[in-house]
Amino acid sequence: MTTPVQPQVLPGHAPDAGDRPRLSFAVPRRGKPPRHLADLTSAERAAVVTELGQPAYRAKQISTHYFGHLTRDPGAMTDLPAGMREDLVPQLLPELLTEVRRLEADGGDTVKTLWSLFDGVKVESVLMGYSDRATLCVSSQAGCGMACPFCATGQQGLTRNLSTAEIIEQVRRAAISCRDGELPGGPRRLTNIVFMGMGEPLANYRTVINAVRRMVDPTPDGLGMSARHITVSTVGLVPAMRKLTAEGIPVTLALSLHAPDDELRSQLIPINTRWTVGEALDAAREYFEVTGRRVSIEYALIKDMNDHGWRADLLAAELLKRGKGWVHVNPIPLNPTPGSIWTASDKDVEDEFVARLRSAGIPTTVRDTRGSDIDGACGQLAAEV
Ligand code: SAH
């Protein structure tokens, strides 16, 4: 069920490709990932195929194989002439992700994969099977520049942005796992995407929006997923939240708040010194107004840090100040990262926090902590390797 790690030669695409074949992923190199079909709109795909000397309709055929049948294997594309399969297909569908490690938890319902990218950079994605859905947690950046002290990825700094196709490839590989029955319960569809892996998605804005469009565009232009089942999670980059509001794609917006007061939030989310709690909540509320999509507030409960009863009350007040019915809160027990002095709140404190929000009329659901025994918190596995 795992793909063996193979040295890759990427013909002509590597920015530093000379006559020496690139036989190792070991040394990170600078440069852009090779161009891939999933980076392009359908009009751009047709233009590229024409540039490569083939009729434009071939772009649609290859897109159907990739987005519809989830394959990049030229051998499977029997509607293409044999010569074209070997020549054109690798130029449009270069290998972007190589599986390095796969860890399972929760009886196989949670599968975390560590990927190596073309330049040796590592990112993670986590697939979670539930009775009614299968959710993939994707990475949008290698590392992260937001430096939140409780987050494993935040400790690594930003290595680079992922490309649209590097994000879509995480989705395609998970969709294959689902289709091929690799989760308990047999073959199923990948239904949900959360941008809650490594990185700050709104700091890689254009790429992430393009990836969302590839996910929701109907096949063969894209994967034909529902925008409502895609969640974009942010530390609260207010101008980018406003841009997202204007895109007109009904994704779910999650705001990582973690504290209702600026003094504490600035310690937990350093970017709060740039855009405050109030500004982030205003932008979240506008998102609801324009899209009609209820916003999720993420709140990692950290023992003796942000889990006080008065903070639950203050959070409820800040949300209610902006109206009713526009928001729900997801408290998440902190997943402790190695070397951190912080730990999850005690269960009775968590219960009290949730009870206060609910009695104020705020819909509140504690998020399950899948895969904590496999370093489920984002970035932990990549940090280890
Ligand atoms: N950068 C984005 C998305 C990635 S993190 C964001 O911050 O929203 C996805 C969620 O996991 C965020 O709410 C983040 O604050 C939370 N998170 C990070 N580290 C965590 C940890 N150790 N325990 C619990 N939640 C954590």
* Per-residue model confidence (pLDDT) at position 307: 98
pLDDT of residue 340: 85
Same domain, 187 and 44: no
Per-residue pLDDT tens over the stretch 173-202: 999 999 999 999 999 999 999 999 999 999
Is 60 exceeded by the pLDDT of residue 52?
yes
Q: How many residues does the chain have?
A: 385
We report the CATH number of the domain holding residue 71 as 1.10.150
Same domain, 209 and 61: no
Highest mean pLDDT among 31-35, 87-91, 350-354, 365-369: 350-354
Please tell me whether residues 84 and 132 are part of one structural domain.
no
Interval between CA 27 and ligand 1 midpoint (Å): 28
Closest residue CA from atom 17 of ligand 1: 151
Which residues are near ligand 1 (CB < 6 Å)? 146, 150-151, 196, 200, 233-235, 256, 298, 300, 332, 334-335, 337, 377-378
Residue 11 lies in a domain: no
343 CA to centre of ligand 1 in angstroms: 14
pLDDT of residue 28: 42
Res 16 pLDDT > 60: no
| Res 5: pLDDT | 33
Percent of the chain, pLDDT > 70?
Answer: 88
Domain of residue 244: give its range.
Answer: 98-384
pLDDT tens-place string over residues 207-263: 999 999 999 999 999 999 999 999 999 999 999 999 999 999 999 999 999 999 999
Mean pLDDT of 1-6: 34
Ligand 1 atom at minimum distance from 200 CA:
1
**Segment 324-339, tens digit of pLDDT:** 999 999 999 999 888 8
Mutate to test the pocket of ligand 1, among 135, 196, 202, 235 (most ligand atoms within 8 A of CB): 196
DSSP letter for each residue of 57-97: HHHHHHHIIIIIS----GGG-TTS-HHHHHHHHHHHS----
* Domain CATH number, residue 274: 3.20.20.70
- Looking at the structure, tell me whether residues 168 and 41 fall in a common domain: no
Residues 203 and 266 in one domain: yes
- Hey, whose CA ends up nearest to atom 12 of ligand 1? 256
Is the pLDDT at 21 greater than 50? The verdict is no
As for how many domains the chain has, the answer is 2
pLDDT at 312 over 80: yes
The verdict on 241 and 380 lying in the same domain is yes
| Residues 77 and 202 reside in one and the same domain | no
Question: Annotation-wise, does 286 bind a ligand?
Answer: no
Please check whether residues 213 and 256 belong to one and the same domain: yes
Contact between 130 and 108 under an 8 Å Cβ cutoff? The reply is no
Any binding-site annotation on 257? Answer: yes
Residue 37: pLDDT above 70? Answer: yes
Lowest mean pLDDT among 21-35, 49-63, 249-263: 21-35
Q: How far is the CA of 151 from the centre of ligand 1 (A)?
A: 6
Residue nearest to atom 20 of ligand 1 (CA): 151
Which of the two residues, 114 and 379, has the higher pLDDT score?
114
Q: Is the pLDDT of residue 25 over 70?
A: no
Instruction: Report d(CA 258, CA 227) in Å as an integer.
Output: 25
Residues 290 and 359 in one domain: yes
Residue 377 pLDDT grade (very low, low, confident, very high; cuts 50, 70, 90):
low
d(Cα 365, Cα 238) in Å, to the nearest integer?
Answer: 25
Atom of ligand 1 nearest to the CA of 255: 8
Strand intervals (E) in the chain = 98-105, 110-116, 122-129, 134-137, 141-143, 158-161, 192-195, 230-234, 252-256, 295-301, 327-333
Model confidence at 18: pLDDT above 50? no
Q: pLDDT at position 143, please?
A: 95
Distance 299 CA to ligand 1 centre (A): 9
Q: Any idea which residue has 């400790």 for tokens?
A: 155
Give 342-354 pLDDT, tens digit per residue.
999 999 999 999 9
Residues 110 and 61 in one domain: no
What confidence score (pLDDT) does residue 185 get?
A: 94
Atom of ligand 1 minimally distant from the CA of 234 = 8
Same domain, 48 and 133: no
Residues with catalytic function = 124, 378
**Shortest-distance Cα residue to atom 7 of ligand 1:** 235
Please check whether residue 288 lies inside any domain of the structure: yes
Name the closest-CA residue to atom 10, ligand 1: 196
In angstroms, the CA 225 to CA 167 distance is 14
The CA 22 to ligand 1 mean position distance, Å, reads 35
Contact 140, 204 (CB under 8 A): yes
Banded model confidence at residue 11, pLDDT cuts 50, 70, 90? very low
Atom of ligand 1 nearest to the CA of 150: 22
Looking at residues 20-35, what average pLDDT do you find?
Answer: 57
Which H or E run includes 236? Answer: none
Q: Is 137 annotated as a binding residue?
A: no
Q: Name the more confident of 16 and 123.
A: 123
